Structure 1
Amino acid sequence: MEIGSKLEKETANFAQLTERVSKYHDLSKCMSGILTTFEQRLGKLEETILPVYQKTEHLQKRQHNLESTLQSLDVVLSHYDVSQDVCNLIHRGPIEGSIFDFLNALDKLKVAMDYFLKTNSQSVELENVTSLFNNGCESLNNHYKALLKKHSAPLRPVELLDLIYIEDDSSNEDCISIKQLSPSTREELLIISNWLEHHLRRQYLQIYCEERSDVVFRSLQNLKDHQKSGSWGNEPLKPRTFARTEQKKTTSARLQHIFEKKANKLYLKATQTIENSTGLSLKKNSSHSDHLTVDEFSNNDQEMDKYIVLLLALQKLLVAERSLLGDVIPENKHTEAFSKLAFNSIDLVVKDAEVITARILRSIQRKEWTSALGIFSALKRVILLQPDIDRTCDSHQKEQLKRVLTKLQTTGSKALENFLDNVKGDSGTNIVGMSSSTLGHSNVPKDGTVHELTSNTIWFIEQLFDHYDVIGGILVTDVLVSSQLDSILIKKQNLSSEEKSKCLLAIYIKKILAELNLTIINKCEQYSDPAIKYLFRLNNINYILISLQRSNILEVLALAEPDCERSYLDIIRDLKSSYLKSWSKLIANVSPIEELPRPSQGKVKDKERAILKERFAGFNKDIEEACKQQRAISVPDVLLREGIKRDNIDHILPKYNLFYDTYCHVQFSKNPEKYVKYTPAEIGSMLGNIFDDSVM
């Protein structure tokens, strides 16, 4: 029964399934028919619409072509009309503050010009637009020039001196030279410069260089004219809101302050560099700031101070101009523009250096040695200014300004050479009779004191020491001096650059002193009396040694001549010994006592009386003449003077005392007072009064 029941159930399910399959088949057949009909109708619709679509597309293309043609015609017509449209604007020229309208008009003319050049180069319209474009460019150049002239003017000397003397880290906006051109003016000039550069119209560059070159040149010329006025050197600094009003300073004091700061900056930079690279600390070099004192420059040639101010002014102006270039001229033209605008001003400064150094050379030939020291001071300052110049100028300008440094170095070298020749050549050989009231044409002092050449030479050497750094740079170019330095460096290795400079100066001073010693020897031959010859040399040699010791130059000389001090002491000792020997004729009258007659009971033989008379008379005459002559001799140094007197007394008095004690009571003359004129005490007093013409 269960199986029959399941079979019936499955049979019913099968019948139902068969019915549904049949129904689905009918539905599928119906749908297939509908789709077939839709496909047929869609095909008929496509056959109807496609031609319409194609025709519409064609019409759209024709419409687009027509519009493009109309636009092209408008452009072409605008090219023909542009000359008429912008003619009035071009002829009127650009207006300050509204430059874009004018530049747009020029751009339209340029486009039209390019079109006619391409399509119809023989067109009359090409001539019209070209003429208008050229006129417009010319007007633009004129406007550019007018803008520069209107907003540029030479700096007044006081303004320029403010730039020099007021040393602060103000921005470029605070620069007086740049303030003349407002930001709007600089922007307009830059727009014009870029437009002209883009269109290869580069006359603007020449205009800019001429105008700004004239500003810089006239600013310097105004400063030069001001330097010739009576107010030069006493200008008050412009008071600042953030600082109290500065008191008036001399030009030398102001320059000293400026270059002290520059020297300190160089020192700090060098210190940081060495400490960062090696970890070593650098001892402060006194060759710059320590020597830049007010006293050093207060008596120098004012012309050199004026020139240094002019050089500083040039550097300040060029810094301002380089900054201004960045706001006005396209970057790719900066180098060319700066080179052109700075040429005349640099040339002015270089020529002034040549004039000044030529005048100083003439002064040096006249033996005005303070001018030479002015050269060394100026050279030191130019060297300190060199880093600022290097940062400001291009390679050609550096080379141009290097002529200033070279000219100063050449002049300094000539000064050193001429001074050495002066010491070497100033030697006379005329014999001078000290009994005469005047030395006539002799060039030695009558009183045998320190010669003017000696004092001048020592003074010059002392001044040179303050400039050993720059003088070392000059002397190192001398082959002989350089070879001597090499010999010293073999013995003393690892010398610093400062010590090398001092060593070079020491070699030069050694030459001067050697020539001075020879000259003194030659000059002493002009004296007829041997004693005065030795006293003259003693005075001069002693003065040299004391001066060298006082000024610490001996420490420098020790680098080239370690035995210098000992050599001078040996010379002084030998001269003192030679001077004592000059008394030998006088002493021969009273010594040796063994060679004189021996009295017996206060009497001597008749023949021996004449000998004693002759000896007493000879001694008296010699001592009187010697004391008379040597009272007129000057020995300025107290220690030397008293030492010589003491040596004379110790050398002469014991011998005379023995002679006097032996024969003063001997009856060798009817008038003994005629011969026995001086007691030993009186002789000692006479010897103590030499070198003093106030004692009669």
Structure 2
Amino acid sequence: MESLQQAIIFFETHPNYRSQTENMRITLDNGYDMLEKAYKSHLLKNSATVDPSYFLKHDMSPRVNDIKIMTEEDQVIKIGVWLLKQPRIPNNFLSYYSEIRGAQILKNIKNIAEAQKTLQVASRSKLSTVRKPIQRLDKNDILTDIESCFVMCSSLLILFELEEKLMVKAIPDTSKRAQVFRELVSRPLAYVVLQTQKVVNEKDVGIIPLLPLLHLLSQNYARFHNLATNSIGDVQFDSLMRQLQVKCSSYVNEVIENLNEDTTKYVPPDGNVHPTTASTLNFLSSLTAHRVTVTQHVLALTAPQGSNTNLLLPKLFARILSALGSMLKKKANIYDDPTLATIFLLNNYNYIAKTLADEQDGLLPAITEMNSNILSFYHEEIATCTNEYLKSWNGISSVLKSVERIGEDKQMARQIMSTFVREFDQVLAQQTDYCISDPKMSSNVQTAVKNRIEKNYFHLLDICQRLHVFPQGIKYTENAFEMAIRNLFSSAKIN
């Protein structure tokens, strides 16, 4: 080909060889066409379908170099570099590159997304053997869609990065390489953005599953924005970001509204932790794990101008905990048994305090930025609830106050013991289904009950045994009494 070019240049200066020169030009053009077809053939043959498993890992950085996007790139590079040096216009081979490589990236993205869905379905199907998942199928499908979007977005960046490395060798001309890349990214980028927009707009799953996606897109905002802006297609990445931020913001507001406007009548029959308490604290923990993303890309969206962004999350937590506290008090009023209502509040306040104090969740540092006394507040509430609960034992305490006046009076001893047994049985029967789910808290309250009545009861027991008031035996011996106290709050204990 190069010899032919030199011959054409030589014979162009000799008019007598015009026809031969024209034939040589036709031959040269045919040669160009054949080379470009060979280039296209090599592209099609060697464009690799990547292994999706490389992209289904959380940390891709150590494995990027293991991914092959071309099985054999030498011929593509060699032909392309040579063609770029030729004066011929247009360069059809560049269009082949953008079309074929763009289509391959799109194919790989779809394969990766499908592999992600298959992996998630297989993982969740294992749970179906021990659960009744019918009512959760729709939610699981939505979660799978969101996870698929995350994987597509992260994989797209990696595939584009690998493609750019290849293009530096295959298309060394900077301006032509930039134009080819603009064309190449258009279809796969538009597909990923459109699919993600569809999921964000149409699926309703709450903010937590969306946070990893929002974090990924915000961390790589400049990259995605530039890709979308420079692409030859109409890629609505900025619109996607706005929709995602607005949806996350609405979910945050929805949590507070649901707490404030909760009118459901359900309360745990044993006074245990309310499901809303657990879900709300999990919600706060998840926001803490994505604090920077939530602050900068969700809360700042609706914050008044000039707000201290560092306090946006602590202020939100304060509002949510306040709304949760109001909801719990309303729920407590649903109980017919005021003592059980107190146990309910005790369980919930204790759950909140323990979760806040858990260093792994990282909630306390965030909340104390706004309220340094928050943990003390809940400990005071727990103490108040404990004292309120102990009032349920006041009747028994009153009965036992007369023990000091028994002396040698068998009749009085018999009467006090009988009254005690009746009252004790009544309290135990009333509290049979009570539960304090935290073993440590349960033990503390049991000890408080024991300290309230044990001394006087054991004194009464000694008197009755000394006076032989109950020859047939006494129902609550020391062991039986202690066992009864230990069995308090054990209806559904959670370790």
Given the two structures, how large is their TM-score scaled by the length of structure 1?
0.52
Q: Structure 1: how far apart are the matches of 2:162 and 2:218? A: 19
Q: Does 2:195 match 1:363? A: no
1:225 to 89, 93, 111: 111
With over 3 angstroms needed to count, the CA separation of the structure-2 counterparts of 1:177 and 1:412, relative to structure 1, is farther
Q: Which residue of 1 aligns with 2:5?
A: none
Write the deviation string for residues 648-684 of structure 1: whole angstroms up to 9, x where unpaired: 2333456778999999999xxxx9999x976898666
Alignment of 1:692 onto 2:493:
no
- Taking structure 1 as reference, are residues 158 and 632 closer, same or farther at Cα in structure 2, changes over 3 Å only? same
Q: Which moved more, 1:460-469 or 1:678-687?
A: 678-687
Alignment partners' CA distance in 2, 1:323 and 1:389 = 20
Larger radius of gyration: 1
3-state SS of the aligned residue for 1:690? coil
Q: 1:527 to 1:688 in 2, by over 3 A?
A: same
State the distance in 2 between where 1:637 and 1:78 align. Answer: 103
Partners of 2:51 and 2:105 in 1: CA distance: 10
Structure 1 equivalent of residue 48 of structure 2: 156
Partner of 2:210: 375
Unaligned 5+ runs, structure 1: 1-74, 100-141, 197-202, 234-249, 251-298, 365-371, 430-442, 490-499
TM-score by length of 2: 0.70
**Corresponding position: 1:339 with 2:182:** yes
What per-residue deviation string (whole Å, max 9, x for no partner) do you get for residues 147-179 of structure 1?
552332373232798799575998xxx984992
Task: Summarize the Cα distance change of 1:603–1:544 in structure 2 as closer, same or farther, 3 Å threshold.
Answer: closer
Which residue of 1 is the match for residue 287 of structure 2? 464
CA contact (8 A) 1:448 1:535 kept: yes
Residue 212 of structure 1 aligns with which residue?
98
Mark the CA change 1:144 to 1:618 in structure 2 (over 3 Å): closer, same or farther: farther
Distance change >3 Å, CA 600–CA 505, structure 1 → 2: closer
In the alignment, is the contact (CA less than 8 A) between 1:590 and 1:655 conserved in 2? no
Counterpart residue identity of residue 581, structure 1: K
The 1:183–1:76 alpha-carbon spacing in structure 2 relative to 1, beyond 3 Å, is closer
Paired position in structure 1 for 2:161? 316
The one-letter code sitting in structure 2 at the alignment partner of 1:377 is: P
* Candidates 133, 142, 146, aligned match of 2:37: 146
Per mean C-alpha deviation after superposition, the further-off stretch among 684-693 and 558-567 is 684-693
Establish whether residue 306 from structure 1 lines up as the match of residue 151 from structure 2: yes
| 2:249 alignment counterpart | 413
Residue 639 of structure 1: how far off its partner (Å): 2.4
Q: Which blocks of at least 5 consecutive residues in structure 2 are unaligned?
A: 1-11, 124-143
**1:517 aligns to 2:336 (yes or no):** no
Cα deviation, 1:402-433, whole Å, max 9, x if unaligned, reads 4454454444434434444454455533xxxx
Q: Which moved more, 1:650-659 or 1:562-571?
A: 650-659
Query: Equivalents in 1 of 2:217, 2:377: separation in Å?
Result: 39
Amino acid at match of 2:98: R
CA contact (8 A) 2:154 2:216 kept: no
Residue number among 533, 537, 546 corresponding to 2:354 in the alignment = 546
Distance (Å, rounded) in 2 between the aligned partners of 1:379 and 1:665:
76
1:85 Cα shift? 4.8
Bigger mean CA deviation after superposition, 404-413 or 455-464: 404-413
Partner of 2:367 in structure 1? 557
What amino acid sits opposite 2:315 in the alignment?
A: I
Indicate the SS of the match to 1:339: helix
AA aligned opposite 1:557:
I
Distance in 2 of aligned mates of 1:576 and 1:418 = 33
Aligned AA for 2:399?
A: V
May I ask how many residue pairs the two structures share in their alignment?
445
Return the alpha-carbon distance in structure 2 between the equivalents of residues 212 and 448 of structure 1. Answer: 65
Structure with greater contact order relative to length (CA < 8 Å, sep ≥ 6) = 2
Q: 1:94 aligns to what?
A: 29
Cα separation, partners in 2 of 1:456 and 1:183, compared to 1, 3 Å:
closer
Pairing 1:606-685 to 2, within 5 Å after superposition = 620-653=421-454
User: Does the 8 A contact of 2:272 with 2:348 survive in 1?
Assistant: yes
Structure 2 counterparts to residues 63-102 of structure 1, below 5 A:
78=15, 82=18, 84-85=19-20, 88-89=23-24, 94-96=29-31
Quote the sequence identity (%). 17
> For residue 312 of structure 2, what is the amino acid of its counterpart?
L
Is 2:106–2:188's contact at 8 Å kept on the other side of the alignment? yes
Q: CA deviation at 1:185?
A: 1.6
CA offset digits 1:595-633 (Å, max 9, x no partner): xxx9999599xxxx9xx97x9877654432321232322
Amino acid at match of 2:210: I
Question: Among residues 321, 339, 344, which one is paired with 1:536 in the alignment?
Answer: 344
Determine the C-alpha separation between the residues in 2 that align with 1:363 and 1:537.
Answer: 29
SS of 1:228's equivalent in the other structure is helix
Q: Give a deviation string over 1:438-493, Cα, whole Å, max 9, x none.
A: xxxxx32222222233233333333332222212223432435x57x93xx5xxxx
